[in-house]
Amino acid sequence: MTTSDFHLTGAYAPVHDELTAFDLPVTGALPPELTGWYLRNGPNPRGDSKHWFTGDGMVHGVRLERGRAAWYRNRWVRTESFDDPDLKLYNEDGTRNLHSSVANTHVVNHAGRTLALVESSLPYEITTDLETVGVYDFGGELADAMTAHPKICPATGELHFFGYGSITAPHVGYYRADAAGKLVVRQPIDVPGLTMMHDFGLTAEHVVFYDLPVVFDRASVGRGMPYRWDTGYGARLGVLRRDRPEAGVRWLEIEPCYVFHTLNAFDTPDGRIVVHVMRYDHQWWAGHEDPPASLWRWTIDLAAGTVTEDRLDDRPGEFPRIDDRLTGSDARFGHVTGHDVLRRYDLHAGTATEHVFAPGRVPGEAVFVPAERGEGWLLTYVHDAAEERSDLVVLDAGNLAAAPVATVHLPQRVPAGFHGNWLPDA
C-alpha cells in the first residue's frame, strides 16, 4: 500500500449520497434462513484524504429477510469529529483525543451493541439501521483506543481486544470484556517502541501479540500514514496466558515482517500454539516495492522458546476469515480474498479451491455465515467495473467454484473497503 491517490479513483473513489432502497432485485435465490444484516465498513472521504486508511467511515448494509433483499442503506459514521471538523486529534497535554475518529475499519456486535471501529480511537455505537448512537467507552471504563480487530471467544462470549498508540509507555494495553459487555481485564503490555499493531491472535488459552518493525514516524503526521519500516527494530511474538494476564507477556523473536490480519490461532494437544496470518515481507519501506501478502503459519513452541515459520502458499491475498464460531480452535477452513478470486483453504489437507469472478468483477472481504444444514455461505460485495455498480454476492462455501447462489443488485457502487460482519436476527 502506498500514499498515492489511488484511493480517490476507480473502485476506491467515495460515493457522495446516502441512499435507502427497498426490495432489491435478486438473481438466483436467497436462502430463506439468511435473515439478518450484512454490514461492511470502509473509508469514504468527504474531502481531502492523504491515504486510503484515513477517509471518513461509511457503513454499507443490506437487510435480508426470508428469501428477499429487504433494503440497502449506506451511512457515514457520524463521530464527534465528523460533525466538528475542528475537533483536534490530540489534547492540549499531548494525549490522543479518543473521541476524534473516522471509525472506518470494522463493524462488530457484542453484548447487544453494534460498534464501528478504527484502531486510533474509541468505538462508536451504531444501530442496525446504520444511525450513529455515539461514542462507546464501556460505561466510562475504557480510556484507550480499541483495535479494529477484537475477537469474541465462542466458549465464554468474552470480547478480547487491545489498544495502542500512547506516545508514552506503556504503548499497548490488553483488555477483556465479559459476555455482558463489562470490562473485566486491563493489562499493560510493555514494548520498546510505538509500532503499528493492527491485529492479534486468540486461542482457548493464550493471546498472541505482534510487535513488528512498522514504527511511528512523527514527521509523517498529516502527510499520510505516520508509520515507516525500521530495519533495526526487530520482530517478536508475545504470548500472554488468558488465565494469568497479570503474569505478563513472553516474547519470542521471528524474522522481520508485517501482518495486518490474522486468519486464526489455536493451541495444539502437545502444548504448541499455531497462528495463521497473511504475512508481508515488509511494509512502508522507503525505496522498496511493497510486496503482497500470502498465507503463512507460525508454530510457537513455548518449551523450546522457538517459532517455526512456514509459508503455506505463494498466491497473494488478504482479508482472511473463518467461521467465527471456531475462533481459537483448530478450524479446518479459511477464506481469503484475491484481486478477482475468493480462495478457500483446507488447512488440514493443505489444499485450496477458488471462485474466480468474471473479468472486471472484484470482490471484497468474504464473511462466512453458517447454515442450518450443510457448510454455509460466503457473503461479499463485488464491484463491477464495466457497469460501475456493486452487488452483494452469496456463494456456497462448500462448493466455492459453483455459480453464485444469489446476487443482490445494489442501487449504487460500494467503494472498496475493509471489514464487516453478518448480524443474524436474534
Q: Is residue 207 part of a domain?
A: no
Q: Which residue has the cell 491472535?
A: 201
Q: Is residue 421 part of a domain?
A: yes
pLDDT value for 8 = 84
Give the span between the Cα atoms of 368 and 145, in whole angstroms.
Answer: 27
Domain membership of residue 9 as a residue range: 1-81+342-426
Q: Is residue 226 part of a domain?
A: no
Count: domains in the chain: 1
Cell of 249: 507477556
Do the Cβ atoms of 305 and 236 come closer than 8 Å?
no
Q: Is residue 266 part of a domain?
A: no
Instruction: Kindly report, residue by residue over 205-245, the tens digit of the pLDDT.
Output: 999 999 999 999 877 676 677 899 999 999 999 999 999 99
pLDDT value for 224 = 72
CA within 13 Å, CB half, 49: 22
Quote the distance between the C-alpha of residue 54 and its chain's center.
15
Q: Is residue 93 part of a domain?
A: no
Q: Which whole-number Å values give the CA distances from 394 to 86, 109, 378, in the listed order?
A: 42, 21, 6
Rg of the Cα atoms in the chain: 20
pLDDT value for 2 = 44
CA within 13 Å, CB half, 76: 18
Cell of 20: 435507502
Coil/strand/helix, residue 219: helix
DSSP lists the bridge partners of residue 68 as 65
Q: Which whole-number Å values give the CA distances from 180 to 135, 139, 156, in the listed order?
A: 18, 12, 11
pLDDT value for 4 = 60
Q: Is residue 62 part of a domain?
A: yes
pLDDT value for 222 = 65
Type of residue found at 112: G
Q: Is residue 327 part of a domain?
A: no
Quote the distance between the C-alpha of residue 226 and its chain's center.
20
Do the Cβ atoms of 32 and 66 come closer than 8 Å?
yes
The pTM of the full predicted model, rounded to 2 decimals, is 0.96
Give every residue of the chain whose pLDDT is below 70, as ranges: 1-4, 220, 222-223
Annotated binding site for Fe cation: 149, 198, 261, 419
Tell me which H or E stretch contains 164: strand 159-164
How many other C-beta atoms are found inside a 10 Å radius of the C-beta of residue 225? Answer: 20
Give the span between the Cα atoms of 89 and 308, in whole angstroms.
Answer: 40
Q: DSSP label at 90? A: B
Give the span between the Cα atoms of 210 and 199, in whole angstroms.
Answer: 8
Instruction: Kindly report, residue by residue over 335-378, the tens digit of the pLDDT.
Output: 999 999 999 999 999 999 999 999 999 999 999 999 988 899 99
